[in-house]
Structure 1
């Protein structure tokens, strides 16, 4: 009998397992993948999440392998429209930390394995849940065959297509958007240093973010899905921004469509949801992984108080459900605005919109508010 079974070994599940083990609980984390993925979709770690990771003694290792983005720049037709500094943000983190997701998972997994060996069980696929009076049975197929893990509660951190959510009978209405994106990583020859750059162009937005090792991530808004192709991505970047990137230097390319999903509840008996299992948010704005870590930060003290001290946390879990669903709703609205900002516009409309944006960001109070919103504060 374990205290907690965490289902999912991505960045949110690994962080949940690590924090629960640090709290003194008996935890096992089940992950169907036999090895970490080298694909890195999520790269931005926002200040509130950095504070949470610092409390868990993880932030330092990530800081040493990341790039601090201290400024955002908007350009259009070769000219600067506006800039946004993060230096005045409250707290000690006046930046967004850019770290490839593969590195983030590596750091978390190494920390978990070093301090609490045997917690993560790879190659284990959950096939069902059965909730009893005092426990949950997690049915799974492990490398040695069928197995059953018993726990006093289960945390689903198994992504947007969560099996835990489905097995617990929790609905999660979704919505699809007409926005598609092509993204990839290339050697950085822009000279933009540690600045994030948004190219607001008539054909659609192009985004550019620094990564460690002299690499820059590029994201291009498309009108229809496209196969991941570094040559196509390089050509689109050049057409819209006049910036040349070498497709031969590409190290990652991916395409994605945009969906959002919000679970009807995050608490169902002894089953709890965090991360994308609870709320799938558009990757535009990079909020999903950060939201998941903040879910864990709010949830771990409640689980610990109940399992170690027998505290009745029913009201606190109800509040957790309300506040984290509300936070996901706010993030989803921000994603809507970010996507709207990146859609194609007629040149005259684009010029007028950019002028209005420049005027707004020239006002310190507005600029400060947008910087806080952009960094999830």
Structure 2
């Protein structure tokens, strides 16, 4: 068996691994990206692209391409019991991108694949699954299997685990995680947008006492609804597939639409549901981010609640931080200053994790009297001049 060679092997060809590959290729660093999936990206899943990520995308000429397809969310509106509590404007959230962009994850991944292929043709190897890693002082040997089950081997100066929350790279390194599982259960679904025309470009958050309903506009006149469910609700069953994109069960779509209608007064049409997914929430942090010439990024290093839409962006910003470090290490022969990178990225993950927890706490079901107090608090906060700082926080301007 012939051993291939590269400067950097990225394990995981999701949005974070693809972006890291494109960044490295733009710096002239030889890169391969192993992705075990053989199919094209499907499903909407994560949708929010925050200003710091758009700035990072500009480094590889991707920002304008994404923005040409995305919806630009310029305001966030808090509501309850059919009344508007206040509005948050993203006008001052970024000097370059005063909005949050929304785009289906599968489209973002396709655009990232195209960008990687333009910078490093053939770098993405789909159907290639990692099997083992052998670390040496000046390189790492990785073994795997290709789409036909045949063994493959590559020698890399560095390996990056961008293989998600259940990272095999992390497991092969023997790195543990710490964290917790939360009791919160959510279901999200994409429907034809039933909101009034003046809300079509706004993020809407209904904080009624029964539990939060968030919604976000999507391209092609669609809207994503995310609802908190009681723990015993059948819709919270984790057996609901994470990307049931083509034909979600009609009764589940009807049930989700009914919850949205009952809590907000707005009635999505179940027949237009194009995706329905249930998810639970947990927070995990890897005990260490780098070991020798192997380093973790994205959910492999730190998994946070998706409420608030920061997880995928956090991974992209990991990649933007790591790419120049790796490129410089390849050029100079250095082993890579992982402690410095780790401190920066884990600090960012802690901050994002705390914010996600606050978002969940704000949207939990409460007694009616507490709900009235929550409404009053939000109305006051959103009326203050400090709401500008709140908009920057939600747009990840701190990142």
When the two structures are superposed, what TM-score results if normalisation uses the length of structure 2? 0.92
Residues 281-335 of structure 1: CA deviation (Å, up to 9, x unaligned):
1100111111111111111111111111335643xx3111101001000011001
- SS state at 2:322 partner: helix
Partners of 2:31 and 2:120 within 8 A in 1: no
Give CA-to-partner distance per residue, 1:47-91, whole Å, 9 cap, x none: 111111112211111000000000000110000011100012231
- Within 2, Cα distance between the matches of 1:15 and 1:301? 13
What residue in structure 2 maps to residue 345 of structure 1?
366
1: distance between equivalents of 2:41 and 2:147? Answer: 19
Contact 1:14–1:105 (CA under 8 A) maintained in structure 2: yes
Q: Is this contact kept in 1: 2:8–2:29, CA < 8 A? A: yes
Distance 2:264 2:272 in 1: 19
CA distance in 2, matches of 1:281, 1:303: 25
Deviates more, 1:222-231 or 1:76-85: 222-231
Q: CA deviation at 1:139?
A: 1.3
Is 1:367 the counterpart of 2:374? The answer is no
1:80 maps to 84
Aligned partner of 2:275 among 249, 252, 257: 252
Q: Displacement of 1:256 after TM fit?
A: 0.3
**In structure 2, what is the equivalent of residue 286 of structure 1?**
309
Residues 170-220 of structure 1: CA deviation (Å, up to 9, x unaligned): 111231101010100000121211000001111100011000000000011
Q: CA deviation at 1:37?
A: 3.1
Contact 2:204/2:216 (8 A) holds in 1: yes
For the Cα contact (< 8 Å) 2:289–2:301, is it kept in 1?
yes
Deviations 1:222-265 (A, max 9, x none): 12223642111111111111111111111111000001111111
Task: Provide the C-alpha distance between the structure 2 equivalents of 1:171 and 1:361, rounded to a whole number of angstroms.
Answer: 41
- Quote the Cα distance in structure 2 between the aligned partners of 1:81 and 1:175: 32
**Higher mean C-alpha deviation, range 75-84 or range 128-137:** 128-137
Equivalent residues, number:
374
Aligned with residue 100 of structure 1, among 104, 121, 133: 104
Comparing 178-187 with 115-124, greater Cα deviation is found at: 115-124
2:343 equivalent in structure 1:
322
- TM-score of the pair, normalised by structure 1: 0.97
1:161 to 1:212, Cα distance in 2 relative to 1, 3 A:
same
Aligned-residue RMSD, C-alpha: 1.2
Q: Determine the C-alpha separation between the residues in 2 that align with 1:262 and 1:255.
A: 23
Residues 1-377 of structure 1: pairs in structure 2 closer than 5 A: 1-144=5-148, 145-191=150-196, 192-224=199-231, 225-226=236-237, 228=240, 229-311=252-334, 313-314=336-337, 317-364=338-385, 366-377=386-397
Aligned-partner Cα distance in 1 for 2:256–2:310: 24
Query: How many angstroms apart in 2 are the aligned matches of 1:100 and 1:235?
Result: 24
